A and B are shown apart, each in its own frame.
Chain A
Amino acid sequence: MMAKLVNFFGDKKYTRTRWRLLIVILVSIVIADFLVARPHDYNFWDTIPGWGALLGFIGCGMIILVSKFIGKKVGLSKKENYYD
């Protein structure tokens, strides 16, 4: 039973289904964000709908870029046997 669920996420033949599911979820989140009540607004972004989505997308991209940068340019990624 669990195998079936996991296979859904693994097997290639479900790729298109997975994409469709993802898009549905993403869209509903953004829509829901417009609809929710906002009791606490400490910061300017608390009032913007869709803020979480934006942060997640851009933030993720930034993290990937920064880590790649640090790895290559600053030279922190070394061969495995650096210390030996």
Chain B
Amino acid sequence: MTGSLMTPLLIENVPILSILIFLPAIAALLVPFLSGNNTVRWFTFTVLFIDFLIATWLLVIFDNSTAQMQFMESKAWVPSLGITYKLGIDGISVLFLFLTSLLGWICVLASWNAIAKRLKEFMICLLVIQSLMLGVFCALDLLLFYVFWEAMLVPMYLIIGIWGGEDRIYAAFKFFLYTLAGSLIFLVGILVLYFAGGRTFDILALMDASYDADLQRWVFISFLIAFAVKVPMVPVHTWLPDAHVQAPTAGSIILAGVLLKMGAYGFIRFSLPMLPDASHYFAPLMQGLSAVAIVYGGFLALAQQDIKKLIAYSSISHMGFITLGLFTFTINGTTGAVIQMFNHGISTGALFLFIGLVYERTHSRDIPAYGGLLKAVPFYGIFFALFLLSSMAVPGTNGFIGEILVLSGTFGVNNWAATAGVLGALLGAAYLLGIYRQILLGPIKIPGAAKMWDLNKRELCCALPLLIFVFWLGFYPKPFLSILQPTLKHLLEQTLGVSL
């Protein structure tokens, strides 16, 4: 399996990545021909679960010793323009393929009863967006990446716009237009890089090329705008709270679990390795914006009464940690950032899942209206509490590992930002414990809450895998760290080594 370092790794010439990516899309084409809502649900679930198994298998057979891209596929697409259909994964992408496919089938389970009207269209959207997200993580051609990146907007827009809450159109459009604006500027940057890098869109080739410092800065800014909207960074973050509040549960899980990570992934895949000098130049700015996001998001979360909005702002705060870690250019900071990306997907995905579960029962997102859930539905309460602890980065949970790595990377590079990080952690404890107190403890206030049913088997199947990762990463992060290590080391070399 480990050939010489220059040989891309294939499994007997089977294009496993293409299968992984396009399986859900092909399945989406078949959905209109199915009859019966349950058939549709089971079909979608099975397809996504198979996809998940493929992603898991990839994770297992992944070679930890090299930073080279693995399972590569390459096919000329439009050679005259330098566009290739090129796929490949490294330590970071394989982890996110795993996360995305895990959240995929969990979303199907979570939407089982929640989505009733236009079920087929919904499942089609889920399948399509799954394909596109997986494609983003595998793409090694910049234009291919862009196609996947842009195309994601449509199904997400539909998910929010059709199956969302009362104000869904506004939220969906806002999401769409903010992201689109960023992406169009991204396209400009891509084209500039294309011309400067020798008329090729090949990501690996573009990484190897070196560019004039001024050019780097302009391209960095164009990339920054796109990624900053996706992450989201302050001040272009305002689409996120509305999108989360209006989106259906599955939408929120995908949004928080995967879509936000794309922004950070963009920094990792493009800004840092391809534009190292600009990255260094803008590092203080990025660290500053991250610190602002951490504290600003934390304060706003504290002020929220709507629980989905609260978690949305806490996401902004958490993503601040991630961007901070990335721009410290230390191995700890970068590792911590990637681990936090994975963690945030798990923990915040789980939180939105649980909020959705209780919303299904009570149709209220208003925190003061709740109370005493620990008494009414104890299993739910305990699970929810554990995920809150994970989000709080309590030792023993996955969040702790990520935060400790990010902070140990930041202290020494930018102590003010690190202090902001500590303040952010405190704010996090405050609003998360606040949720715990108001929703889980105290007297039961929601009418009909006494008749609420506790977690059923389906919901348990959604929650357990996520909980397993909370504690697995918390107590034994080694396997995850060893997958990332060579890739991140290589990334740092690219970022630091090439400097004028």
Do any beta carbons of A and B sit within 8 angstroms of each other in the complex?
Answer: no
